[in-house]
Structure 1
Amino acid sequence: MSQAADRRGLLIILSSPSGAGKSTLAGRLMKWDASLSFSVSATTRPPRTGESHGVQYYFETRERFEQMVADGDMLEHAEVFTNLYGSPRAPVEAAIAAGRDVLFDIDWQGGQQIRNSRLGRNALSIFILPPSIAELERRLRNRAQDSDEVIAGRMKKSRDEISHWPEYDYVLINDDLDVTEAKLKTIISAERMRLSQQPNLADIVRGLNAEFEARQ
């Protein structure tokens, strides 16, 4: 599908506790609409097998990351499970200036910072809930990426993360990936048509009024 060039870009924020499916859903949205720009986060955690710098994440040292924060080069940042995560500001501002939507796969802290930033008026925030805590743990274990200790830490953290659901514009329960994906597409399509996202409509209406006057 294509994106109209005469509207403002959206900052689409997807958040969820680890294992609820936001990264999988983000990947599906990117395949659905090639015009979406994915905000590649910076992190101080080491890369996992198959991950590359600048693709899944920008892998930075803690010193480099903290310097970027001090210089104002991060749109948002947070510390999660002893590692720092953040969204570099420059690529996001460039995409928005070009009228492209930017997709964020971030936690509630990052989403809050974006909504409170000067770009917050263009933010669309969506929180993904798991159908149950048992299913959340099952998904974490099936990923086979983390140790039992890390999984236990993620499960403990998930209660606090879930408590922030009322802060979001939309909340979806991800009990079926295909159904949740369809709902996300509906939400994004509708939000793109909001009056506030179409600054050129005023000019169009002025043109219509001019035609009325010309007919008198």
Structure 2
Amino acid sequence: MDDVQFIAGRESTQEEMFHTFNTLYEAGRQIVFTADRPPKEMLRLDDRLRTRFEWGLPVDIQPPDYETRVAIIKNKAIRRGMNLPDPVLQYIAENITSNVRQIEGTVNKILAFQELMGESVDVDTVTRAVRDMFKDKADFLPSPDIIIDEVSKFYNIDADALRGQGRTKDTALARQIAMYQIRRMTNLSLKEIGKEFEGRDHTTVMHSIDRIEKLTKTNPEIAEVIKDINANINARYE
């Protein structure tokens, strides 16, 4: 039973719940309740119910982390008969961080949009399909793919070279800027950012971010580059 806290203060409902609980418990049935607070904080809850709720194992369930969100999204899409590409899975997981219900609603909307429009599912499709589920553009985080794409375009560098081992001066700078932008514009950790660049370690990522952070304060040209790239990224959501 979900949201059991709402029966607090409702005498007839609590009485019925008390007898139902006893019947199920005596029959050896498993009983699962969810609430937004532990039993001891449900001030108007009947003591008989509070005691019974505390017989079990209270578990504080936190919002799913990034890896768990990716797994949930992938599983729900497969159940609907669709195999979402990794960039789409990552993009949804980066932007939907609150709860599983919102994740499920987002996946359903993306799949319905794809079926209606007959388009392949990519990050741009997802952007158009679910942007109205967010209060405003500021609530919608760009994916690492979009950021890398915009940095690559700005410097006229192949995205694979930017992600990989390209060692030219421009490529190295562009890569550091991309890492900096991803750190600023997404919720990815240093380790997760490193995975976007062929598994670079978090120390390398941190060094790159720190370098660009300093350059934005001391080099007007770099500051202007960052501003232009930001504008290009934001333009994709207008």
TM-score normalised over the length of structure 1:
0.24
Structure number with higher relative contact order (C-alpha < 8 Å, ≥ 6 residues apart): 1
Give the strand-richer structure, 1 or 2: 1
Give the helix-richer structure, 1 or 2: 2
